[in-house]
Amino acid sequence: MSYPALAARTAVVTGAASGIGTATARALAANGARVALIARRTERLDALAADITAAGGQALAVTADITDQASVDAAAKAVHDAYGRVDLVVNNAGVMLPNPLADGRIDEWTRMIDTNLTGALRVIRAFTADLTATAADGRTADLVNVSSIASHVLFPDYAVYGATKAAVTQLSAALRTELGPRDVRVSAVEPGLTDTELGDHVDNPALSEQLGGMFSAIPALSAEDIADLVAYTVSRPRHVNLRQSVVLPTRQA
């Protein structure tokens, strides 16, 4: 879809190395936004930036680990040095590591909380001043947090992932009370089953198989479906906040 309102926006997309982040970066750039691409895999980001540039868009690859404060600080500096103020932040980077709670996988819990929640907060911290300054100038400013249907629907063995996503949805709602009055839109996008690399890090064979079974049983959403929703959300007139969107495959109950 075409969203002319996105021309002249300056965006940051985290988790741009694959899946929803890659598709969102492409969608924003195709509509004229400059896009800073953040993730850990430099070669993926470089390839995406080259693709976007070859298609006539503007993109900047910025390697960063959002669980590391110094890395996020350096990324924010690189973005500001290249592009100046950012007016659109898509907080999308995330990991999903299911296992029975009784297995006590503190390593996975820590990684999910540090990435999905604290990492998102680090990114918010890095760019909120840009968003409020943009809005104060009368221009559109957006913070989009990619949450999940797992913030509402409970899945056995996904307790900690679900808790991090419920926190992202709650954080988005709470932030609206602080940033809405300053004309910064905050949106939570909550996808269901989407075909990406998210399941590749599951280390429990039974749960991997279960996830594979869901993909066999239900035609999943594509990363491009979610990217289109993000692009639609941030291209509304600035007084319209599409604040919480649940987007599921039609066959997902």
Ligand X SMILES: NC(=O)c1ccc[n+]([C@@H]2O[C@H](COP(=O)([O-])OP(=O)(O)OC[C@H]3O[C@@H](n4cnc5c(N)ncnc54)[C@H](OP(=O)(O)O)[C@@H]3O)[C@@H](O)[C@H]2O)c1
Catalytic residues: 161
**74 is an interface residue for ligand X by CB under 6 A:** no
34 within 8 A of 60, measured Cβ to Cβ: yes
Which residues are within 8 A (CB) of 218 and not within 5 positions of it... i.e. 6 or more apart?
193, 249, 251, 252
**92 is an interface residue for ligand X by CB under 6 A:** yes
The DSSP code for 198 is: G
Give whichever of 132 and 222 is closer to ligand X, judged by the CB atom. Answer: 222
162 within 8 A of 155, measured Cβ to Cβ: yes
**18 is an interface residue for ligand X by CB under 6 A:** yes
Residues 204 to 223 in contact with ligand X, rule: CB under 6 A: 223
Q: Which tokens belong to 139?
A: 């221009």
Give whichever of 21 and 57 is closer to ligand X, judged by the CB atom. Answer: 21
Stretch 95-114: interaction string toward ligand X, x if CB under 6 A: xx------------------
Shortest Å distance, C-beta 239 to ligand X: 27
Shortest Å distance, C-beta 171 to ligand X: 13
Q: In 3D, which of 46, 56, 62, 68 has the Cα closest to residue 11?
A: 62
Shortest Å distance, C-beta 14 to ligand X: 6
**230 is an interface residue for ligand X by CB under 6 A:** no
Q: Of these, 3, 9, 12, 21, which contacts ligand X (CB under 6 A)?
A: 21
Cα 54 to Cα 58: distance, rounded to the nearest angstrom:
9
**93 is an interface residue for ligand X by CB under 6 A:** yes
**238 is an interface residue for ligand X by CB under 6 A:** no
Give the three-state DSSP class for 42. Answer: helix
Q: Which tokens belong to 182?
A: 């300053």
Cα 45 to Cα 240: distance, rounded to the nearest angstrom:
32
Shortest Å distance, C-beta 93 to ligand X: 4
The DSSP code for 220 is: P
Cα 45 to Cα 26: distance, rounded to the nearest angstrom:
12
How many residues interact with ligand X (rule CB under 6 A)? 31
Report the interface residues with ligand X, using CB under 6 A.
14-21, 39-41, 44, 65-67, 92-96, 115, 119, 146, 148, 191, 193-194, 196-198, 223
